[in-house]
Amino acid sequence: MDYIYKFDTDNGFEQTDISSFYDVIEDDDFYLMYLGKASFIDFAKTYNLDDAIIDLLLSDTAKKSYMAVEDNYTFAILELLDIMGNLETSDLIGFYIENNRLIIVDLYDRDQSTTEAFRKMLTKKFSARSPGRLLKYFITALVNNHTRIFDQIKNSTAAVEDAIIKNKKTRDSIEIISDNRHKALNLYASYERLLDTLEVLMENENEIFDDDDIKHLKSVLFRVERYSSNISYLSGYITNVKDSYTSKMDLSMNNTMKVLTVVTTIFTPITIITGWYGMNFENMPELKWNFGYMYVIGISLISVILVYLLFRRFDR
């Protein structure tokens, strides 16, 4: 669904319709719009935007980030993670920015986070037209829930670490670690794309932002940088827990192999003895003794005991 708002100095943003927008646009009017892909393509054709932008929107190719800085407008496509889902899919958001227009383009919004961020942005009070301030509120609303995901990843990783320290057996530990590491890497990549977009906007090559806009963009840039730093720290923490888990598994495997080696060594003399007497040579007098069977058992037991005592002595 498309939303179109016209800024009024006294009342803030007032909703209008697309026909009114296309009929009359005064130079002093400022419009905030939320358009779907098809509606924005119509807008792009109506106002003769760069053909490369229209072709890109019509191509339906794989997800991508895109940036175009023209003389009187800036257009960007940003890929952000589906934070309400499993972080395996991404939302695609377009931004069209000029002096008197800010258009949020909903290209793909699986979790409705883009729509929700736009609604939260509208709850803010505006006393002046400021595309930079609007972008700050919108991007802040987009990434605000990321702290919850950060806490979820951190807490589940900490639970695995606690189990390792307490030597508890936990199911799916390596799956949890790998999944959290994958999520952290995806979040970090998402923040880097957002930072790249904000840095290009702050360069302000086409001078569509004033000093107040740049101040607001810098504010949200610092916030995203902090999130990126936190995720970078979290990735290192997950890697450390993974190394601890691997070390524990290696130690457990070494202990198992040690036990198997000791058992094999202890019973090696029995194997040799049974191999000898299993040959049934005629010159083995023990085979004809009445107590030959007990004799072999006794030798075997004595051999096991002697080897065991020998290991105990070396183990001290």
Per-residue pLDDT of 271-313, as tens digits, reads 777 776 666 666 666 666 666 667 677 777 787 777 777 767 7
Query: CB of 69 within 8 A of CB of 205?
Result: yes
Q: Distance from CA of residue 232 to its chain's centroid? A: 11
Q: Give the C-alpha distances (Å, rounded to integers) separating 154 from 237, 248, 286.
A: 9, 20, 70
| Average pLDDT over every residue of 18-28 | 59
Two tokens, residue 35 = 């358009």
Containing 68, the helix (H) or strand (E) segment is strand 66-69
Residue 254: how many CB atoms within 10 A of its CB? 10
Identify any residues that bridge with 223 across adjacent strands, giving them in sequence order. Answer: none
261 has pLDDT over 90 = no
Q: Give the C-alpha distances (Å, rounded to integers) separating 286 from 271, 275, 276, 292, 304.
A: 18, 14, 12, 5, 20
- Domains identified in the chain and CATH numbers: 3-249 (3.30.460.20), 259-315 (1.20.58)
196 has pLDDT over 80 = yes
What's the farthest any 2 CA atoms get from each other in the chain? 120
Cβ burial of 111 (10 Å; 0-12, 13-18, 19+) is: middle
